[in-house]
Structure 1
Amino acid sequence: MLTIGCHLSSSKGYLAMAKDAVSIDANTFQFFTRNPRGGKAKAIDPDDVRAFYAFAEEQGIKTILAHAPYTLNPAAAEDRVREFALMTFKDDLARMENTPHQMYNFHPGSHVKQGMEVGIAKTADVLNDALNDSQTTTVLLETMSGKGTEVGGRFEELAAIIDRVQLGDRLGVCLDTCHVWDAGYDIAGGLDGVLAEFDRIVGIDRLKAIHLNDSLNPCGAHKDRHATIGNGEIGFEALAAVMNHPLLRDLPFYLETPNDLEGHGAEIAQLRTAYIG
């Protein structure tokens, strides 16, 4: 069965997000844990969580994905920025236990001219401080486009972070199709080769979720401009092939395309017609 959804606003709570998802024939969703530009997180309402779980069970929603704010930069040069990242990470992981056994996605950060090795080490240090034995949440490092001083534009960088983390069994990877394309991985012309490379370097068992996005840029542009499905340089057929690939088809897919709820519904409908069930 295809598990697919989009990014939804968390301002109204879990139940409202689930209802929005069902309204567009989605059976999962992604949301920010707090304002994507940072700030204090909204208090979680236990009654809302209970109502969400009852509704989710009725509708077959099992997997949801939380996304860290963009301001979380564990690889930063400034101590105060890394301290904010650690504080936010710990707070978010504690809050995630209100919906146990789900996933939490984050951008591995930017080394800000310190060098990739330093950035990798600092991101791993924050993860070592933030992760704990009791957590049920799987933390996902997102593949990045490699723009500027981003960490995570190459599979080797993700593997290097994971190798340095003591509780590595709590870690996975979210593959963003726009990002890997922009990073230079040709998923349109050589998907099998890209996945073989990922398996060799990171391990395919680490792959837990897919951000399914088209890109406004040519392969290897090292930018990050998402396009709606089929209206970018990757194209609908290539993205449908990602969705149907034997190594990926059972993973949850999340749209982060520049669209409103109705537009995401149209994209999901189009993708469902292409899914080989």
Structure 2
Amino acid sequence: MLTIGCHLSSAKGFLAMGKNAQAIDANTFQFFTRNPRGTKAKAMDPADVERFLLFAEEHAISRILAHAPYTLNACSADPNLRILAKDTMKDDLMRMEYTPGNCYNFHPGSHVGQGIEVGIQYIADMLNEILTPEFHTTVLLETMAGKGSEVGREFEELREIIDRVHHKELMGVCLDTCHVWDAGYDIVHDLDGVIHRFDEVIGLHRLKAIHLNDSQNPLEAHKDRHAKIGEGFIGEDALKRIVTHPLLKDLPFYLETPNELPGYAKEIALMRNA
């Protein structure tokens, strides 16, 4: 069965997210660990988490994905911002221990003119300061569109980060369809070629999640503007080929399209009927 969900608000807690997922026929979901444009996080409610875990088991909700705030920049030129990124991620991973066995996704960051090599090293350094075998969460590097000085536009950049991380067993990748399209990977006309390239460079065993989004921009635009399914340059047919591809169909898919719950419900139904 297709594992698919969307991004849900975590404002009312885990149980509320589980119920919202179940209401739109989702069997997974993504959520922000804290204010996506800031650093503040709500206190964990262990009782709410316990109720959610029971609800998730009853309704076959699994493989949830936490998303780090956008403000986290592990390769900032400002050392204080790098420290903030490290502290934020470490705290997030400790909070993820309430729901062990899931994934935590983050944007690698922007090197802001320092150069890609410096950016990659800063990101790897942060991960090496944080990750220990005691964590039960897989940390995912997200593929990026390449706007500005973003790290992660090319698969090789993500591979280079992983190669420098000591605890590689805790590392994976989240492929964003809008981002890879905007980065220049033609998933519309050469999906098999893109998958082969990912496997060759990073390894498909590292691919743990897919953000399923259309794009407002043409191939290699480097702009990162998500669109609703079928309303962008990638198109409905290409996205259906992704969720049904033999090498991808068993992965969890997370919609980040510009929608509210009714719109997500329609897209989930559309993909389930692919």
TM-score per shorter chain, which class? over 0.9
Partner of 1:250: 250
For 1:100-179, list aligned pairs within 5 A. Answer: 100-179=100-179
Number of residue pairs the alignment of both structures matches: 274
Partner of 2:47: 47
Structure 1 position 125, deviation (Å): 0.5
1:253 maps to a residue whose letter is F
Structure 1 position 39, deviation (Å): 2.0
Please tell me whether residue 37 in structure 1 is matched to residue 37 in structure 2: yes
> Per-residue displacement from partner, 1:80-134 (whole Å, max 9, x unpaired)?
1100000001100000000011100000000000000000000000111111110
| 5+ long unaligned stretches in structure 1 | none
2:151 maps to a residue whose letter is V
Partner of 1:82: 82
Partner of 2:63: 63
RMSD: 0.5
> Per-residue displacement from partner, 1:220-269 (whole Å, max 9, x unpaired)?
00110000011100000000001011110000000000000111001111
**Separation of aligned partners in 2, 1:271 and 1:157:** 31
Partner of 1:264: 264
8 Å Cα contact 2:39/2:71 also seen in 1: no
Structure 1 position 137, deviation (Å): 0.2
Structure 1 position 62, deviation (Å): 1.6
Aligned-partner SS, 1:28: coil
**Separation of aligned partners in 2, 1:93 and 1:195:** 29
Partner of 1:12: 12
Partner of 1:92: 92
TM-score, length basis structure 1: 0.98
**Separation of aligned partners in 1, 2:26 and 2:157:** 32
Aligned-partner SS, 2:38: coil
> Per-residue displacement from partner, 1:10-63 (whole Å, max 9, x unpaired)?
010000000000110000000000000122210111110110011101100121
TM-score, length basis structure 2: 0.99
**Separation of aligned partners in 2, 1:152 and 1:88:** 20
| 5+ long unaligned stretches in structure 2 | none
Identity of aligned residues (%): 66
**Separation of aligned partners in 2, 1:79 and 1:173:** 26
